Amino acid sequence: MTMKISRTNTAAALWCLMIIGFALVPVLMTSTYQLNLACHVLIWGLFAVAFNMLWGVTGMLSFGQALYYGLGAYFVGLMVEYLGRAWYLPAIGIGILAAALTAFLLGLIVIRVGGVYFTMLTLAFGQLAWQIMFKWYEFTGGDDGIQGIIPPGILANPIVYYYGLLVLVMISIWMLKRMAYSPFGLILRCVRQNPERVRFLGRRVRRNQLRVYIISSLFAALAGSLMAGVDNSIHTDMFFWTTSGEVILMSVLGGLNQFFGPFVGAAVIIMIEDIVGAWTEYWSLIIGTVILVMVIAFPKGLVGELHQLKLRLTQLRARRSQ
Amino acid sequence: MDFSFFITQTISGLTMATLLFLVASGLTLIFGVGNVFNFAHGSFYMIGAYFGYQLVAVWEINFWLALVLAGIGAGLVGMLAEALFLRRIYGRPNEGGFQILLTYCFILIIDDVVKLVWGTEYKSLPRPHGFTGAVNFGDIFLPAYNLLIIGVGVVVVVAAWWILARTRPGKIARAAAVDREMVDTLGVNVPLTMTLVFGIATGLGGMTGALAAPLRTVTPGAGIEVIIDSLIVVVLGGMGNFWGAWLGAILIGEVNAFAVAFLPKWASLFSFLVMVIVLIFKPEGLFAPRQVRKV
Amino acid sequence: MRNKRLLVCLTIAFLAFIVVPFCASAEDKTIRIGAMYPMTGRAGLYGKDSVAAAEMAIDEINSKGGVAGYKIDATFTDSKAKPAYAVRVAKRYISEENVHFLFGVVSSGVGLAVTEISHQYKKIFIGTDHASTRLTVDNFQPYYFRVSNNTFQSMAAGALYLKELAQSKPWKTIAFIGPDYAYGHSQWDEIRYNLDRFGVPYKVVGEYWPKVFAPDYTSYITAILNDKPDVLVAGFWGGDTVAFIKQAQAYGLFQRMLYFHPDAGGNYELMSAMGAELPDGLVLGARHYDNWPETDLNRNFVEEFHKRTGRFPTYAAEGAYAGIYAIAQAVEAVGNPDDTEALVKALESLKIKLPEDPEGFTSYMRPETHQITQVMAIGTTVPNSDYPPAKKMLGNWKVYNAEELVPPVEYLKEKRQK
């Protein structure tokens, strides 16, 4: 009992530490670029964690989450472009609602199939959405994207925006974590491991799949809408399959079975991209090799392996003290 | 629409379809037999195109021989990649994700290696002797090389069917697809079979790259743009199904050809639209392989 | 055990801000340029050529002692042709490396995203290769300057070419094929606008929009043959031009209509890729040619580039070369690279002799648009093996006056009001 309490306390302490760490970025930074990098880590981190609810927890590998990420971003971009800056914040909410609705409607179609067919169907819808955004250039700006998306009022200040973003991302991740370890999360895990038994327990597999698909998608939309204000410009690339692919890479690299794995994976991939990209034009060779080695060497993902290491160390210590 | 235009458009759709199918055939083979989703298949196509360029334009080797050598070369690279890396992740939990990640690394690495060896300039291969002209039937105008490609497609689909259905290695491969352990117990070297299948599939991709080079541009990044389209074809036909991939490719090719003729503005939407519609009604693809029940 | 995971997150989050290199010695006398070019994939050739030419210009200037006591120092980063990534790089350049100028960019999508950053941070952005007219018209902002032609200028020259052609070889119908994104669409809009402006009658019999980087054009070719236009206007760039020409050649398209490709068709990459396969008599244009104009400046530029890299330059190279010299001239006039507003003024009145200027003409900046104003030439393919591996080059030049090619004031007003 005491141990449990102390562990909860340390968990809370570490949460605080993480929040404080990110909160200190604007104070400690030596350039606004670092702030920008922190924004990217937070947003991709949220996107990856939300994605992992779908894949790592429920076992549904979607190759089309870029659709919702892009949807969130484009709701903000288009509403600011056509209706004015004041619509920035409402657009985030409307975008999330629209994403949830889209996820509900598409979800009815895509969750009917499982496994690799689910993956392919989500890819097909994602690419269809990308093509539409790309082609509808009178309205969306097509490949030129939308520029000049400046948040209203005090939010136009990058530091203020950063804190707003930090609060939203942390609340979202906390909510997702609560969900992952709630009874609902438990059912989702059962859905992954043995859908038949979930049925025997009197729970509906599809309904739970649809729920988690909607939840994951609306958080992806939130991540996308937050990104619009970071770079002040958005682009159809956000809908492209490579965006969906990137978030898969982040999750695998960080560790699928760890709640924070995808978040760490996102941070690592963004760091590697920037550091190697700044250093050499042969980034693709180097990043490819580095990730290849990681994939072969760390089958549980980065966080999973660290977790394993810690376990082994404790066992070793326990054996020694015996 | 007059008849000759109809025929011309049908044949031009078939040319596109055949090249699509030839790339997709390797993808579907690896998926069907090995349950591996090779995201880097387009990169092997690109390697084949570069090998073809090197052999024909630089070393001035006979085109037909170069076609075979380019296929073998790409196949060897593929076998190496399978034996050194891919093999290590079989059987992991979430293997699918690791496959995507690992083959994505192949894409990154191969892209840069190609750039280091051949530079960023666009390369091109001339059409081989005897296939530079065209065949005329009244108003219908058919380039000889396009007809040749369509022929190669038919040969490959028939040969693949014959090998898989009628020969012993083909039967082993199909059996391995269903139950790897059982085949292993029967004394077949399953890892070696997997490597060979991977080699044949990537070799097919490489040969297609060399075959397409006289009609396309040999350039870094050439692999990326074929992968999504061939993926659509594989999914449409039912993953792992050769005839399905062929028919799926023809469906996409012809829909595209006639969309270009009648709705040119929206033509590029159609391949995704076809995929979405088919998958909504038949999620397992048009010609899914019969489900074999595992006991 | 969960706490360990959190710890890891934290460590990594902190590492992020320590690892990033810290460099900010702003006191030394260098002009820092932050350049972004794609160096991988389809557009890699454009990027690599731009980098080589920019380095060449920098070496030339620095070996003569620099400008106003300053040496030029440029950093080149692969933009990966991705807007979001390029924005990150631009922000790093501005806030970590304290660059004086942002520089480069091949894709217009990336250019538009970077010009937004340039505007916000009040950093001058020198555009060297992207062609979208939007950057100097619709999305104009005071810190952006472009030192290469945009599509409007190419299309105006193209319209004049077609006008002259109608006298010698009457044509009535045109069709268009170009990549289905902003670059293709603006070419099609602008050629029609200019044909109307110059009073050229025409009838459109087809327009086709294949995907950019599409490997296969066969169905488009047969559909175009069925439309039977007199002139086919093409708007491809790079490898797409090569693929289209090869596939069209098999169908005998070039015997049945005039292939007209004024913006990027005449780029050297096409000649070097296709060698003897390239058909004669295609009408092509580009922003710079290796064999025109035959001035010492151009000859030297092309020869030096060939010496450095072992290949002849594509037009992207000359844009980057021009960009470095434009910066040098502006800094020379102002005396330092730090006074941004004065540099903007200096660049607005820029007059600069470039390799692509024929005798008697000097390129100059148009202050209303921050777009360089240049002569345009259009030629047809003829045998010429002076620039191997090319076996054909352009010849039979038609040259167009710079002033006639710029967008008229009404056009600017209409576009900027939107």
Q: In chain C, which residues have their Cβ closer than 8 Å to the Cβ of B264? A: 206-209, 220, 223
Q: What is the pLDDT of residues C155-181, one digit of tens each?
A: 999 999 999 999 999 999 999 999 988
Specify the residue for token string 């967008």: C407
How much is the average pLDDT of C60-81? 94
Q: Which three-class secondary structure state does DSSP give residue C76?
A: strand
Judged against a pLDDT cut of 70, whether residue C26 lies above it is answered with no
d(CA C110, CA C46): 14
Q: CB–CB of A267 and C12 under 8 A? A: yes
Find which of A313-322, B24-33, B157-166, C302-311 is predicted with most confidence, using mean pLDDT. C302-311
Chain C 66-105, residues with CB within 8 Å of chain A CB atoms = 76-78, 80, 82-85, 87-89, 91-92, 94-96
**Would you place residue C98 in the very low, low, confident or very high pLDDT band (cuts 50, 70, 90)?**
very high
How much is the average pLDDT of C62-68? 94
The pLDDT score that the predictor gives to residue A250 is: 92
Judged against a pLDDT cut of 90, whether residue C92 lies above it is answered with yes
Test mutation, A49, A147, A308, chain C, max C CBs within 10 A: A147
Q: In chain A, which residues have their Cβ closer than 8 Å to the Cβ of C40? A: 281, 283-284
In degrees rounded to 5, what are phi and psi of residue C122? 50, 50
**Would you place residue C22 in the very low, low, confident or very high pLDDT band (cuts 50, 70, 90)?**
very low
Element containing residue A210 per DSSP (H, E) = helix A205-231
Contact predicate B216/C38, CB 8 Å:
no
Closest CA to C156 of C198, C207, C128, C201: C198
Q: Is B260 on the interface with A (CB under 8 A)?
A: no
The pLDDT score that the predictor gives to residue A96 is: 97
Q: What is the pLDDT of residues C377-418, one digit of tens each?
A: 999 999 999 999 999 999 999 999 999 999 999 899 888 876
Test mutation, B58, B124, B147, chain C, max C CBs within 10 A: B124
Q: Is C139 on the interface with A (CB under 8 A)?
A: yes
Q: Which of C208, C251, C274 sits opposite B260 (nearest CB)?
A: C208
Closest CA to A63 of A131, A137, A104, A115: A115
Q: Which of C211, C240, C273 sits opposite B121 (nearest CB)?
A: C273
Tokens matching residue A128: 């269809």
- Which is higher by pLDDT, C81 or C342? C342
Q: Is A254 on the interface with C (CB under 8 A)?
A: no
The pLDDT score that the predictor gives to residue A2 is: 43
Q: Which three-class secondary structure state does DSSP give residue C43?
A: coil
Nearest chain A residue to C130 by CA distance is: A144
Q: CB–CB of A274 and C1 under 8 A? A: no
Closest CA to B238 of B287, B271, B278: B287
Judged against a pLDDT cut of 60, whether residue B264 lies above it is answered with yes
The answer for residues whose C-beta is within 8 angstroms of residue C342's C-beta and 6 or more apart is: C334
How much is the average pLDDT of A111-117? 82
Q: What is the pLDDT of residues A65-100, one digit of tens each?
A: 999 999 999 999 999 999 999 999 999 999 999 999
d(CA C31, CA C27): 11
**Count of A–B CB contacts within 8 Å?**
102
d(CA B80, CA B195): 8
In angstroms, the separation between the Cα of residue A292 and the nearest Cα of chain B is 6
Q: Which three-class secondary structure state does DSSP give residue C145?
A: strand
Q: What is the pLDDT of residues C107-128, one digit of tens each?
A: 999 999 999 999 999 999 999 9
d(CA A207, CA B234): 29
Q: In chain B, which residues have their Cβ closer than 8 Å to the Cβ of A241? A: 228
In angstroms, the separation between the Cα of residue A299 and the nearest Cα of chain B is 7
Contact predicate C314/C268, CB 8 Å:
yes
Per the rule left: phi > 0, alpha: psi between -120 and 50, beta: everything else, A227 is: alpha
DSSP string covering A43-63, please?
HHHHHHHHHHIIIIIT----S
Closest CA to C146 of C354, C297, C369: C369
SS3 content of chain C, % helix, strand, coil (to 5): 45, 20, 35
Parallel, antiparallel or unpaired: strands B134-137 and B140-143: antiparallel
d(CA C258, CA C248): 12
Angle of the C218-227 helix axis to the B242-262 helix axis, nearest 10:
30
Identify the DSSP state of A260. Answer: T
The pLDDT score that the predictor gives to residue A162 is: 96
d(CA C249, CA B111): 29
Judged against a pLDDT cut of 70, whether residue C16 lies above it is answered with no
Provide the sign of the torsion angle of the four alpha carbons C109, C111, C117, C122, taken in this order.
negative
Q: CB–CB of C39 and A135 under 8 A? A: no
Q: In chain B, which residues have their Cβ closer than 8 Å to the Cβ of C211? A: 268
Specify the residue for token string 């692509």: C356
Q: Which three-class secondary structure state does DSSP give residue A123?
A: helix
Q: CB–CB of B279 and A113 under 8 A? A: yes
Provide the sign of the torsion angle of the four alpha carbons A187, A193, A197, A199, taken in this order.
positive
Q: Is A117 on the interface with B (CB under 8 A)?
A: yes
Cα–Cα–Cα angle for B91, B93, B97, nearest 5°?
95
The answer for residues whose C-beta is within 8 angstroms of residue B156's C-beta and 6 or more apart is: B21, B22, B25, B204
Q: In chain C, which residues have their Cβ closer than 8 Å to the Cβ of A13? A: 3
The pLDDT score that the predictor gives to residue C10 is: 54
Q: CB–CB of B260 and C221 under 8 A? A: no
Q: In chain C, which residues have their Cβ closer than 8 Å to the Cβ of A229? A: none
d(CA B215, CA B147): 13
Contact predicate A129/A239, CB 8 Å:
yes
In angstroms, the separation between the Cα of residue C14 and the nearest Cα of chain A is 7
Q: CB–CB of B96 and A284 under 8 A? A: no
Q: CB–CB of A285 and B109 under 8 A? A: yes
Q: Is B133 on the interface with A (CB under 8 A)?
A: no
How much is the average pLDDT of B44-54? 97
d(CA C10, CA A15): 9
Contact predicate B123/A281, CB 8 Å:
no
Nearest chain B residue to C277 by CA distance is: B126
Judged against a pLDDT cut of 90, whether residue C198 lies above it is answered with yes
Cis peptide bond N-terminal to C293, omega within 30: yes
Contact predicate A156/A244, CB 8 Å:
no
**Would you place residue A124 in the very low, low, confident or very high pLDDT band (cuts 50, 70, 90)?**
confident
Judged against a pLDDT cut of 50, whether residue B294 lies above it is answered with no
Test mutation, C218, C236, C269, C305, chain B, max B CBs within 10 A: C218
Q: Which of B132, B143, B219 sits opposite C239 (nearest CB)?
A: B219
Contact predicate B98/B89, CB 8 Å:
yes
d(CA B62, CA B82): 30
Judged against a pLDDT cut of 80, whether residue B289 lies above it is answered with no
d(CA B66, CA A271): 43
How much is the average pLDDT of B21-29? 93
The pLDDT score that the predictor gives to residue B195 is: 94
Specify the residue for token string 């010609």: B287
In angstroms, the separation between the Cα of residue A68 and the nearest Cα of chain B is 17
Q: What is the pLDDT of residues A279-311, one digit of tens each?
A: 899 999 999 998 899 889 888 888 888 888 888
How much is the average pLDDT of C292-300? 95
How much is the average pLDDT of A34-49? 95
Nearest chain A residue to B276 by CA distance is: A124
d(CA C154, CA A59): 53
List of chains touching A (3+ CB pairs within 8 A): B, C
**Would you place residue C359 in the very low, low, confident or very high pLDDT band (cuts 50, 70, 90)?**
very high
Q: CB–CB of C24 and A30 under 8 A? A: yes
Q: Which of A61, A128, A288 sits opposite B108 (nearest CB)?
A: A288
Tokens matching residue C14: 């902190």
Contact predicate B47/B114, CB 8 Å:
yes
Average pLDDT across chain C, whole number: 91
In angstroms, the separation between the Cα of residue C280 and the nearest Cα of chain B is 16
Tokens matching residue A26: 């604007």
Identify the DSSP state of C358. Answer: P
Long-range contacts of A110-114 (CB under 8 A, 24+ apart): A110/A62, A110/A213, A111/A60, A111/A206, A111/A209, A111/A210, A111/A213, A112/A206, A112/B283, A113/B279, A113/B283, A113/B284
- Which is higher by pLDDT, A175 or B293? A175
Nearest chain C residue to B213 by CA distance is: C243
DSSP string covering chain B, please?
--HHHHHHHHHHHHHHHHHHHHHHHHHHHIIIII----TTHHHHHHHHHHHHHIIIIIS---HHHHHHHHHHHHHHHHHHHHHHTGGGGTT-TTHHHHHHHHHHHHHHHHHHHHHHHH-SS-B--PPPTT-SSEEEETTEEEEHHHHHHHHHHHHHHHHHHHHHHHSHHHHHHHHHHH-HHHHHHTT--HHHHHHHHHHHHHHHHHHHHHHHTTTS-B-TTTTHHHHHHHHHHHHHH-TT-HHHHHHHHHHHHHHHHHHHHH-GGGGGGHHHHHHHHHHHH-TT-TTPPPPPPP-
d(CA B220, CA B98): 25
Least confident of B133-147, B191-205, C290-304, C337-351: B133-147
**Would you place residue B49 in the very low, low, confident or very high pLDDT band (cuts 50, 70, 90)?**
very high
Cα–Cα–Cα angle for C12, C14, C15, nearest 5°?
60
Tokens matching residue B148: 């040749």
**Would you place residue B281 in the very low, low, confident or very high pLDDT band (cuts 50, 70, 90)?**
confident
Nearest chain B residue to C206 by CA distance is: B264
- Which is higher by pLDDT, A232 or B287? A232
pTM for this entry: 0.92
